[in-house]
Structure 1
Amino acid sequence: MAHKNQFQLLATRRFLPFFCTQSLGAFNDNVFKNALIVMIAFRLATSEANFLINLAAGLFILPFFLFSATAGQVADKLDKSTLIRRIKLAEIGIALLGISALYSGNNYLCLGVLFLLGVQSAFFGPVKYAILPQHLQKTELVGGNALVEMGTFVSILTGTIVGGLLAGFTGEGESGLLWISTVILVTAITGYLVSRAIPKAAPPAPDLKINYNPVTQTVRILKEAAKKPAVFYAIIGISWFWLLGAAYLTQIPSLTRNVLGGSESLVTLLLCCFTIGVAIGSLLCGRLSGGRVELGLVPIGAAGLTVVGILLATTTGSYQPPAEATIAAFWANDGALGILVNLTLIGIFGGFFIVPLYSMMQERSDPEIRARIIAVNNVFNALFMVVAAVLGIVFLNVLDATIPQFFLIIALMNAAVAIFVFNRVPEFAMRLLIWLLSHTMYRVKHQGLEKIPAEGAAIIACNHVSYVDALLLAGAIRRPIRFIMYKPIYEIPVLHFIFKTSRAIPICSRQRDPEGYARAFEEIEQGLKDGDLLCIFPEGQLTKDGELQPFKAGIEKILQRTPVPVIPMALRGLWGSFFSHKDGHAFSTLPKRFWSRVCVVADQPLEASAVKLDELQERVLGLRGEQR
C-alpha cells in the first residue's frame, strides 16, 4: 500500500497544490539564476565573469544564513498556507524586478534580484517541510517526502537547462530577454494561483515572540535539536548529502571539459543522470519503506554513495577523451557508459540516504518547534555547501589534485562521516538488520497491529519461537519497543548491540542472579511509569518443540507493581527457520528457508485486572493457531 499511497497523494488537495507550488518555485529560481550566470559568462571578460559568477553563488546562499532562523519562527507562528501565499506574491514582485534588471543590463542589479530570490527561498524552506506532517498521515510521510525530493531535483534540473537555453537566445536581440521574462513571470503567477488551493495548516506556536538575531536563535534551536540525538544527527546527515551533491555538481562542467573532453551538451547529460537518479532513488525509497520511516535504508544509501563514488573516481580517472567533443563520440568511447551509470547510481543512493532522514527529522521534532528545527537544518545545509566549495578549492587548486582524485577523497570522507553518525545513533544499524531480515529470509505480514495503543504504557505478551522474534516485532510495530528478555539471549554477539540500542531489559532467574533480577524489575517499573511500550515473552525461553510453553508468573508480578494494559500477540511461521530450535540447536545448519511467510498478529488490549496467566496463554495460543 505504501507505494500506491505515494502516487495517490498527487490526486489529493492536501498534497498536490503544495507539490506544484514548491516545484514551480524551484524551477523559477534556477531559470533566473542559470540564465544570469550564462549571460555573465559569455558577455564579460573571463576575470570579471568568474568574479561575478562566484559572487552570484554566494549571494544566493547568504540569505539562508541571515534569515533562516527568522523564517523558522514565522512558519511556527503563522498559518503555513497563508504564509506560502504571501511568499508566492513576493515572488511575483521579485520576478517583475528581475525583468527590469535584465532589460537594464545592469549585472549588479541582477545580482540584487538573485539575493532576493535567495531570501524568498530561505523563508519558503521551513514551511516546505514543516507543512507535510500537518497534512499527511504518518504512513504517508515518507512517500510525500519522496515525491517532494523528486519534484525538487527535477525542477532544479529543468530550470537550469531552460535558463541556459533561453540565455543563449539573448545574443540574438530582445527576443531572448522577452522569453526569459515571460517564463519567469508566468511561472511566478502560476505558482501563486496554485498556492491558493493549499489547505490551512494551523500554527503550532501562534503566541511566539520572534527573536530576530540569527546567531542566538540558531544556537537556541540547535540546543533543542541536540536533546534528541536522532534529530540532531539527521540534520548532520542531510547537510552532508548537500555537501556531497554540491561537490559533485560543481565539478561536472570542469570534469566534462578537462577530463572527458566534452561540450556543454555533455554537461547537461551528466546533470540529467544525477538528477534522474535522485528522483528514482527517492521514489524507490518510498516504495521500500512500507509506509514507515525506514531508517534501515540510510546505511544502504551511505554505503552505495561510497562504493559508487569510488567507482566514479576510477572510471573518470582512466577515461581517455575522444578526438571530437560530441555526445556521439563520448557515447562510443570506452568507459562512457560506466560514468553515466555511476552518476545515476550516486543519485539513487542519495535518494535512499536523504528521504528517510528528512522524514525522521519531521516526525521526531516537537510540532511546536518543527519549522525552527528545519530552519536550522537549512542553515547547516548552506554551511556545508560552502564547505564543499572550500574543499574543491583546497584539493583542486592548492593541493593540485585531479577531479577524479577529488571524487575519491569525497567518497572516502563519506564513509568516515557515515561511520561517525551511525556510531552516534546505533538505531540506523539496528533498523538495517531488521530491514534485511524482513526483505530476505522472511515476508512479514501484519494483522491487528492497529489495536496497539499509539502512546502510553503497555506490555506486549508474545510467544517465543526464535532468536529474531524481537527484531521482527520491532520491525512490524511503529512504536519503539523495550524488550524484557532472557539474559543469555540479550548477550548474544551482534544481537547484543541491537538489544542494547533499543534499551532492552535483560533478566534471568532470581536464584542465578538475585541482584540482576531485582534490578530488572525496577527498570521495568520505571519504564512503564515513563509511558514505554514493553514486550515480554512469558514462556521465559525459546520453544524447543514448536509448542507454546507454560507462561511464567513474571508478567503477573509486573502488573501487581504497575497495572497497565496487556496486548496479546503471536508470531506465526517461524518454527523451522534458521533461528529456531527445530531439528537441533538454532544456527546449527545452513539456512534452508528464504522468503518464508511470517505473520505478526495482535489482539485487543486487556486491562491489568483482567489478566489471568492461563487465560493469557490461551489467548496467545489462539492468535498463533496451527501455524507454528
Structure 2
Amino acid sequence: MSSSNQFALLKSRRFAPFFWTQALGAFNDNVFKNALVIMAVYQIAAHDPARATSYTNMAAALFIAPFLLFSATSGQLSDKFDKAKLAQLVKVMEVGIMLIALFAFLAKSIPLLMTLLFMMGLHSTLFGPLKYGLLPQVLDSRELVGGNGLIEMATFLAILLGQTLGAVLINIPDTGAWLVGGACILTAVAGLASSLRMPPVPAPDPDLKINWNPFSESWNNLSYIRGNRAVLLSCMGISWFWFFGSVFITQLPTYAQSIIGGNASVYTFLLAVFSLGIGIGSLLCERLSGHKVEIGLVPFGSIGMTLFGADLYFAKPDLAVAHDLTIAALLVQPWIWRVLVDLLLMAVFSGFFIVPLFALIQTRSDPARRSRVIAANNILNALFMVVAAGLSVLLLGVAKLSIPQLLLATALMNAVVAIYIYTLVPEFLMRFLSWILVNTLYRIKLDGLDHIPDEGPALLVSNHVSFMDALIIGGSVRRPVRFVMYYKIFNIPLLSFIFRTAKAIPIAGYKENPELLAKAFDEVDAELAQGNLVCIFPEGGLTKDGEIAEFKAGLERILERRPVPVVPLALRGLWGSIFSRRDSALGRARLPRRFRSRIGLAAGAAVEPAAATADLLQQRVSALRGADA
C-alpha cells in the first residue's frame, strides 16, 4: 500500500531491508577505502610524497574501474534474476572480501589491499543497477520520489560516517588494523543479514541471454538510452552532477587546509556539512514535489548549485593566514559562516537536482531494461568523474588556477550545462516555471490522477475556468501533456513562452481561422499517434459564470480519427480567482481575494472511445467538479 510519509517506508519489509542493505554497503565501502588510503599515505608512505600521491591516485582509479568495465554485465544480471537473491549473493561476496581485508590490513600489504579495493568497486558496480532498478518494482508512483530521497540521504550519510570511522580506527596505535578489519567484517555480516530479509523481487526479463563481452554490451546499454531523449538527458544530468560533485569533494581536503587553514578535523566537519545538505535536499524533494516525480525541481536545483557554488569563491578567495585551526577556533572567524551556508545550500540544491532525475529514469525506462539503463547511467557517471579529475589537474597545474577559482569555474560551467540541457529538453524548464507559478499562487489537492495511464495515448478533457488551467494540469500530471488551447490564450505574453515550450497546440474557430483549426486537429492526431497525452477544453473558452458550458463536438471528431481512452478532469475552486472571468463579467477590477488559496484537480475513470460522447463527458466532468466551482 502507498505510504503518505516517506519515513513510514522504513517500517515496510518491501523497502526497509533493502534500505539498510544498501546503506551498510556504502558505509563499508568508505570505512575500507578511507582506512586504506590513510594507511598508505600517512603510515606506509609518510615520508615519500610522490609515493603517497601515487597510492591516492591508484586507489581512486581501481575503485572506479569496475564501473567502466562491468556495469553493462551488472545491468543484465539485475534484469535477468531476482534482485533480492542477487543482492544476497553480492553481500556474501562482500563478507569474503572483508575477511581477506583483515589479513591485508594486519600485513600492511598494499598490493593485496588495492586488489580488494578493486573487488569492492566491483561489489558496488553489481549493486548499483540492482539498487535503482528495484525501487520502481517495490514502490508505487507516489512513493518513488520519497524512496529515492531516503536512498540518496542514506548513501551520503553512509559515505560521511564510513570515511570518519575508517580514519579514526586506522589511526589508533597498535590495534588500528584489527579494529578496521573487524568493523568491516561486522558491517558486511550485518548487510548480509539485512539482505536475507528482502522479499523476492521478480526478474523483469528472465529470458534475457547474457552478453559477457563488457565492451559490446556497454555500447548496447548506451544505445538503449539514446532512443529515449528524456532518459538520455537525465542520465547526462546525473553524470554532470557527479562531475560537479567530484570536483568539490576532491578539492575539499586541500580547500580545508590551505584556504580555510583548518586541521584534519575541519575537513571532516566540512564533509559533514556537505553530506547533511545532500540528505536534507533529498528528503525535501518528496514534500516539495507532492509525492510525484517533479522534474521542475531540476532547474531549481541547478540554479542553487550555481549560485552557492560560485559564492564559495567570494566567501573566501584567498589563502589562509592562520593554519592548523580546530573546529572551535574556526567557528569564531566571521567569514566561516558564509562558507558553511554556501556549502550547505549548494548541497541541498544538489539533492533537488539529483533525486527527480533518478526517479525520471526509473519511470520513463522500459521495465524489462531498467537495470541496463541504470548500468548505462553508471558508465556515463564514471566517465564524467574521470574527465572531472583530468580537467581539475589541467586547470590547477597548467592554467594555475587556485582552488577557489577552480570551484568558481565549475559553478559557472554548471550554469552553461544546465542552460544547454534545458534547451534540449524544454519540458524541464516548462515544469520548473509551472511549478513556481502554481505553487506560489495555490495549494492544490489532487484526486484520482492514477486514472491517467502511465504510458500510451489518452485524451484528457477538462472544464475551463481560468487562464492558469493548463499550467495547473501540466504541473500536476506526472507525464508531459500537450494542450489544445484557444489561440488568443496561447498568445498571452509571458504565459505564451511556457505554452510554446510545452508544445501546446493553438486552435481557432472555423469562422476565425479554418486553416489553424485543421492544423490543430492534425497535430492532435500526430501527438496521439506518438503515444502522448493530449488535453482539450471542450467548452471552447473560459466559463463566464462559473458553470460548465456545453461541450463541443470537436472531441468526437478527434476520437473518430484516433480512438483512444478519454480521461475526464475537473478543476475545482478556481472561479473567482484573479485569472478567471468572474470580476470582469461583473464589471469589477480583477483583484486577488485569496493568496495560496486551496484548489483541486480530480480525474475520473477512463471512458472507452466508442462511448465517449460530448454529452457523457460533460456529465462526468460535472460530477467530478461537484458544487465547488
Question: Are the structure 2 counterparts of residues 231 and 549 from structure 1 closer, same or farther at C-alpha, using a change threshold of 3 Å?
Answer: same
> Quick one: which of 156, 159, 162 aligns to 2:162?
159
Gap change, CA 1:65 and 1:561, over 3 Å in 2: closer
1:339-350 matched pairs, under 5 angstroms? 339-350=339-350
Amino acid paired to 1:601: A
Aligned to 2:582, the other structure's residue is in SS state: coil
Residues 583 and 590 of structure 2 are in contact (CA less than 8 Å); yes or no, is this contact kept in structure 1?
Answer: no
Q: 2:171 aligns to what SS in structure 1?
A: helix
Instruction: Check the 8 A contact 1:298/1:353 in 2, yes or no.
Output: yes
Alpha-carbon shift at residue 605 of structure 1 (Å): 4.1
* Structure 1 residues 163 and 150, CA gap change in structure 2 (3 angstroms): same
Change (3 A) 1:388 1:479: closer
- Tell me how far 1:447 sits from its aligned partner: 3.2
After superposition, the Cα gap between the structure-2 partners of 1:4 and 1:449, relative to the gap in structure 1 and judged at 3 Å, is closer
**Equivalent residue number for residue 335 of structure 1:** 335
Which aligned pairs between 1:106-255 and structure 2 lie closer than 5 A? Answer: 106-169=109-172, 172-173=173-174, 175-255=175-255
1:486-501 to structure 2, matched below 5 A, reads 486-501=486-501
User: What's the secondary structure of 2:5's corresponding residue?
Assistant: helix
**Which residue of structure 2 lines up, in the alignment, with residue 466 of structure 1?**
466
Shift of 1:513: 2.5
Q: Which residue does 1:76 correspond to in 2?
A: 79
| 565 and 365 in structure 1: CA distance in 2 versus 1, 3 angstrom threshold | closer
Map 1:25-104; keep pairs closer than 5 Å. 25-43=25-43, 44=45, 45-104=48-107
1:269–1:362 distance in 2 versus 1, CA, 3 Å: same
Matching of residue 391 in structure 1 with residue 425 in structure 2: no
Distance in 1 (CA, whole Å) between partners of 2:212 and 2:363 is: 27
Q: How far off its partner does 1:587 sit? A: 13
Which residue type is aligned with residue 65 of structure 2? L
Residue 374 (1) aligns with residue 374 (2): yes
- Residues of 2 paired with 1:298 and 1:104: CA distance? 48
Q: Which range is displaced more, 560-569 or 301-310? A: 560-569
State the one-letter code of the partner of 2:49.
Answer: T
- State the alpha-carbon separation in 2 of the partners of residues 485 and 557 from structure 1: 16
Q: Deviations over 1:403-431 (max 9, x none)?
A: 11111111100000110111111111111
1:473 deviation in Å? 1.5
Q: Which amino acid aligns with 1:292?
A: K
Instruction: Report deviation, 1:213.
Output: 2.7
State the Cα distance separating 1:379 from its structure 2 match: 1.1
> 1:201 Cα shift?
1.4
Tell me which residue corresponds to 2:303: 303
Question: TM-score, normalising length from structure 1?
Answer: 0.94
Counterparts in 2 of 1:254 and 1:610: CA distance versus 1, 3 Å? closer
Partner Cα separation in structure 2 for residue 235 and residue 564 of structure 1: 31
Aligned to 1:357: 357
CA deviations over 1:21-54 (Å, ceiling 9, x no partner): 1111111111111111111112212221111111
Distance 1:490 1:59, change over 3 A: same
State how 1:532-571 maps to structure 2 within 5 Å.
532-571=532-571
Report if aligned partners of 2:285, 2:352 keep a CA contact under 8 Å in 1: yes
Name the amino acid aligned to 2:505. Answer: I
Contact 1:3 1:143 in 2 (8 A): no
- Higher mean alpha-carbon deviation, 119-128 vs 509-518, is at 509-518
- Mean Cα deviation higher: 72-81 or 314-323: 314-323
Q: Contact (CA 8 Å) 2:105, 2:178: kept in 1 or not?
A: no
Kept in 2: contact 1:2–1:287 (CA 8 A): no
- Give SS of 1:131's match: helix
User: Partners in 2 of 1:141 and 1:220 — Cα distance?
Assistant: 27
Which 5+ residue runs of structure 1 have no aligned equivalent? none
Aligned position for 2:600: 599
Q: Which one-letter code corresponds to 1:570 in the other structure?
A: A
In structure 2, relative to structure 1, the CA distance for the partners of 1:451 and 1:135 (3 Å cut) is closer
Aligned to 2:621: 620
Which residue does the alignment assign to 2:513? 513
Partner amino acid, structure 1, of 2:90? I
How much identity, in percent, do the aligned residues show? 48
Do the aligned partners of 2:259 and 2:318 also contact (CA within 8 Å) in 1? no
SS of residue paired to 1:534 = strand
What's 2:326 paired with? Answer: 326
Q: Deviations over 1:312-341 (max 9, x none)?
A: 111121575446622222111121111112
Structure 1 residues 417 and 532: CA distance shift in structure 2, 3 A: closer
What amino acid sits opposite 2:427 in the alignment?
E
2:21/2:195 contact within 8 Å kept = yes
Q: Which moves more between the two structures, 405-414 or 527-536? A: 527-536
Equivalent residue, structure 1, for 2:19: 19
Check conservation: 2:2, 2:140, Cα contact below 8 A: no
| Most deviating of 146-155 and 523-532 | 523-532
- Distance (Å, rounded) in 2 between the aligned partners of 1:587 and 1:212: 73
Which residue is equivalent to 1:10?
10
Alignment partners' CA distance in 2, 1:289 and 1:249: 28
Between the aligned partners of 2:58 and 2:133, the Cα distance in structure 1 is 31
CA deviation map 1:219-264 (0-9, x unaligned): 2221221111110011111111111111111111111111111100
CA distance in 2, matches of 1:305, 1:37: 29
User: How many angstroms apart in 2 are the aligned matches of 1:495 and 1:510?
Assistant: 24
- The answer as to whether partners of 2:482 and 2:532 remain within 8 angstroms in 1 is yes
Q: 1:459 to 1:266 in 2, by over 3 A?
A: same
Q: Is the 8 A contact 2:211 2:217 kept in 1?
A: yes
CA–CA distance in structure 2, aligned partners of residues 275 and 113 of structure 1? 26
**Residue 439 and residue 318 in structure 1: after superposition, are their counterparts in 2 closer, same or farther (change >3 A)?**
farther
TM-score where L is the length of structure 2: 0.94
Tell me if the contact between 1:579 and 1:587 (Cα under 8 Å) persists in the aligned partners.
Answer: no
Query: Do 1:2 and 1:290's aligned partners in 2 also have CA atoms closer than 8 Å?
Result: no
Aligned in 2, Cα 1:384/1:560: closer, same or farther, shift over 3 Å?
Answer: closer
Question: Would the alpha carbon gap of residues 327 and 211 (structure 1) be closer, same or farther in structure 2, given more than 3 Å must change?
Answer: same
| Partner Cα distance (2:54, 2:189) in 1 | 32
Q: Deviations over 1:113-153 (max 9, x none)?
A: 11111111111111111111111111111111100001111
**Aligned partners of 1:322 and 1:329 also within 8 Å:** no
Quote the offset at 1:463 in angstroms: 1.6
Following the alignment from structure 1 to structure 2, what is the Cα–Cα distance between the partners of residues 278 and 187?
23
Q: Is the 8 A contact 1:313 1:404 kept in 2?
A: yes
Deviation at 1:526, TM superposition (A): 4.3
SS in 2 for 1:19: helix
Aligned partners of 2:349, 2:358: CA distance in 1, in Å?
Answer: 15
Question: Amino acid of the residue matched to residue 475 of structure 1?
Answer: G
User: What CA distance in whole angstroms lies between the structure 2 residues aligned with 1:607 and 1:591?
Assistant: 40
User: Residue 589 and residue 401 in structure 1: after superposition, are their counterparts in 2 closer, same or farther (change >3 A)?
Assistant: farther
Take 2:604 and 2:105, find their aligned partners in 1: how far apart are those partners? 67
- Could you tell which deviates more after superposition, 614-623 or 51-60? 614-623
Greater mean alpha carbon deviation, residues 232-241 or residues 523-532: 523-532
2:264 maps to which residue? Answer: 264
